Structure 1
């Protein structure tokens, strides 16, 4: 299909992009890698008057370390996230989950910031960022502000970003020594996850000392399985992990669509949580 008519600009800096967004108000859409926005335009599910292409802003790309924190530019591609040795060493969960996103062509064009700002609950990376306790940095006319991942996703395809703000980087605390696993169920290869589970586990003296469990596609936003996380603390055996995983769907509101019913999604959340945590804890 042919998208609706729109104006197009390609700013060369973050400041220029922010000014453009401020002038346009809610009539603008940001184009990052284009893997989410372009299909919406072609299907006429989005009708922006202005598309702001931030793909050529160099300061939005790159990865570096800052006193125990990984700093990832919003326009860093999925391909670069997967290959970067610092991410694989300090935030292996992100690298592992990103490697499951779509196909190689999409991973070369799609970006971390674009996937997060799109805020599709069926996307793999929002739940991963939530499990990693990341902080997202936005820049707008009023300056920079830090948004915890738990406060960033507000509703289906809605984030805490104001219309005149641009997501510029993602900051992730280093998780050295933590086990991790991303499990997801999809009906066909390269499809969206029916349900996904991001598990991050720290063990101490043979038992689980701390666990983070993020859920993909179990509600209008990515979620943490809080009841399961609490139940996992102190677990030493496989049976304890299995019992904790039974509460993975508590407090969730999974949707019903042709892929799965809410009851089936809840079942998948329990099964995938058990698998992910057992593997992350080295018990699988």
Structure 2
């Protein structure tokens, strides 16, 4: 289909982008990579009066360390994230997630900020973002605020994103150096979306017991979630094959499985347990 008519503006700064959004009186949308927005435009699911292009704003692709946090600019593309040495050295699971997001075109132009802000329940990044207590740096007409990714998505494509604001940075907790990390997904062959995606980070102390464990799950529910029952069950215990099997059974305890043409709730529950078990094996081997 053909999108409805809209006005196109290009912002040269964050402040200018916010002003442009304000002047649309709620009828504006941000354009970054466009891989989430453009399909909605074509199907006229969204019909904004104005698109504000932020791709030329400087500084929104920076990656830096701030204390125990890794900060990633919102315009950093999936491909750039997958190759960034600072990200690979500190959160390799984030780089792995980026390398498996979408297809080649999506990875070259899609951005981490747009991916998370879109609120798609089958996006890849929310798994690792939830596992590492990620926060979004949001700049808008009321100033700057940090919004936790946990609780940001309220439902499919519905988020806590304020009006007339843009995400400029995503902040991740850096796991301890001894922790192993992975992101595993069961990919839909046509779309590249995860039918289930699991981010797992775990480490054991000198006494052989688990002293760090994080598990995030995406693709199976209306909102991605952190599998806290799994974490609580494993924390402080010595890993074993039987323990991991028991923990994986808890991966759907607090989640409501989705249902669509691709998979039933029962099947999603089944594959979630399988992929959580595989991810835990990988980081606790």
- TM-score scaled to structure 1, two decimals? 0.95
* Aligned equivalent of 1:107: 107
Matches within 5 A, 1:20-169: 20-169=20-169
User: Aligned-pair distance for 1:45?
Assistant: 1.4
CA–CA separation in structure 2 for the residues paired with 1:133 and 1:92: 16
Q: Secondary structure at the residue paired with 1:95?
A: helix
CA–CA separation in structure 2 for the residues paired with 1:189 and 1:87: 29
CA–CA separation in structure 2 for the residues paired with 1:50 and 1:10: 10
4+ residue runs over 3 A deviation: none
CA–CA separation in structure 2 for the residues paired with 1:46 and 1:106: 20
User: Aligned-pair distance for 1:189?
Assistant: 6.1
Q: Secondary structure at the residue paired with 1:147?
A: strand
Q: Deviations over 1:44-89 (max 9, x none)?
A: 2111111111111112122112223211110011111111111011
Which stretches in structure 1 are left out of the alignment for 5+ residues?
A: none
* Aligned equivalent of 1:2: 2
Please give the root-mean-square deviation of Cα atoms over the aligned residues, in Å.
Answer: 1.3
Q: Secondary structure at the residue paired with 2:71?
A: strand
* Aligned equivalent of 1:268: 271
Q: How many residues align?
A: 282
CA–CA separation in structure 1 for the residues paired with 2:25 and 2:277: 45
- Alignment partner of 1:222 is 2:224: yes
User: Aligned-pair distance for 1:206?
Assistant: 2.0
Q: Secondary structure at the residue paired with 1:114?
A: helix
Please say if residues 139 and 165 of structure 1, whose CA atoms lie closer than 8 Å, have aligned partners that are also in contact. yes
Please say if residues 103 and 192 of structure 2, whose CA atoms lie closer than 8 Å, have aligned partners that are also in contact. no
Please say if residues 198 and 217 of structure 2, whose CA atoms lie closer than 8 Å, have aligned partners that are also in contact. yes
Q: Secondary structure at the residue paired with 1:198?
A: strand
Please say if residues 179 and 212 of structure 2, whose CA atoms lie closer than 8 Å, have aligned partners that are also in contact. no
CA–CA separation in structure 1 for the residues paired with 2:238 and 2:110: 38
Which stretches in structure 2 are left out of the alignment for 5+ residues?
A: none
Matches within 5 A, 1:184-199: 184-188=185-189, 191-199=192-200
CA–CA separation in structure 2 for the residues paired with 1:167 and 1:4: 26
* Aligned equivalent of 1:180: 181
Matches within 5 A, 1:198-237: 198-204=199-205, 205-233=207-235, 234-237=237-240
Q: Deviations over 1:200-256 (max 9, x none)?
A: 112113222221111112322110111111111114211101101001011211211
